[in-house]
Amino acid sequence: MKILVPVKRVVDYNVKVRVKSDGTGVDFANVKMSMNPFDEIAVEEAVRLKEKGVATEIIAVSCGDAKCQETLRTAMAIGADRGILVESTEELQPLAVAKLLKALVDKEQPSLIILGKQAIDDDANQTGQMLAALADLPQATFASKVEVAGDKVSVTREVDGGLETISLSVPAVITTDLRLNEPRYVTLPNIMKAKKKQLNVVKPEDLGVDVKPRLKTLKVSEPPKRGAGIKVADVAALVDKLKNEAKVI
């Protein structure tokens, strides 16, 4: 079984995001970048499936500029066998990424595509669903448990009312939730081994995909600062404030 794992390079989750002074976007100057945490969970799950003898090859894929090679090397240090970078300087929106992944799915013919449910930069939560639609594949989103038996995949997923378990036929698309696993610590020997693993670079035009943005960002601004709280004398005053000022009841 071959598993394709898309990974995205994002601002590290420990870093406070800064907005550019002109409001045109996020300031990436001198900012630590890392793999999207949900994608890290996806790589970990693929590696665990390989360790169980279910998977035979794991291919990490990233779409973006040349710096995304660092993210692919991290994925290979975790356990991916090889990497593919779709190099582009365009602003890649979810639909464009889904089309690029669809082209790679057609080329590589993986049995499973496991990716994070969303990226922590745009929080779009669209790429996995769009890929499943474009490739006409069954999908299971927000997975908290994955079990493979033959050509069937049982996925327990997070829903509003609790947990739902569904069965899919491979090939299929799975998006990961936080509770699926805890990614392993990447060791120095594995980082060194990752440098020798195969990493291919292709262009969107090589895959026959138009990645021009369909949406235009008009303005990016920071959320308003939270105001100070107030003390009330009693329950009646609290209810009055909630009803007449906050208007939440």
pLDDT in tens, 158-179: 888 889 999 999 899 999 999 8
Does 150 fall in a domain? yes
Contacts with 223 (C-beta within 8 Å, 6 or more apart), sequence order: none
Does 183 fall in a domain? yes
Report the length, in residues, of the chain: 249
pLDDT tens digits, 43-76: 999 999 999 999 999 999 999 999 999 999 999 9
Does 202 fall in a domain? yes
Q: Which of 45, 48, 184 is nearest to 114 (CA)?
A: 45
Does 164 fall in a domain? yes
Does 187 fall in a domain? yes
The answer to whether 17 touches 25, Cβ cutoff 8 Å, is: no
Between CA 159 and CA 157 the distance in angstroms is 6
The answer, yes or no, to whether residue 222 has pLDDT greater than 90, is no
Does 249 fall in a domain? no
Domain that holds residue 108: 2-244
Q: What pLDDT is recorded for position 38? A: 95
The total of structural domains in the chain comes to 1
Give the confidence band of 217 by pLDDT, cuts at 50, 70, 90.
Answer: confident
pLDDT tens digits, 110-160: 999 999 999 998 889 999 999 999 999 999 999 999 999 888 999 999 888
In the chain, the N- to C-terminal Cα span, in Å, equals 55
Looking at the DSSP assignment, which residues form a beta bridge with residue 2?
A: 57
Q: Annotate the chain with three-state secondary structure.
A: CEEEEECCEEECCCCCCCECCCCCCECCCCCCEEECHHHHHHHHHHHHHHHCCCCCEEEEEEEECCCHHHHHHHHHHHCCCEEEEEECCCCCCHHHHHHHHHHHHHHHCCCEEEEECCCCCCCCCCHHHHHHHHHCCCEEEEEEEEEEECCEEEEEEEECCEEEEEEEECCEEEEECHHHCCCCCCCHHHHHHHCCCCEEEECHHHHCCCCCCCCCCCCCCCCCCCCCCCCCCCHHHHHHHHHHCCCCC
Does 153 fall in a domain? yes
CATH at residue 134: 3.40.50.620
∠ Cα 195 200 203 (to 5°): 140
Q: What pLDDT is recorded for position 228? A: 82
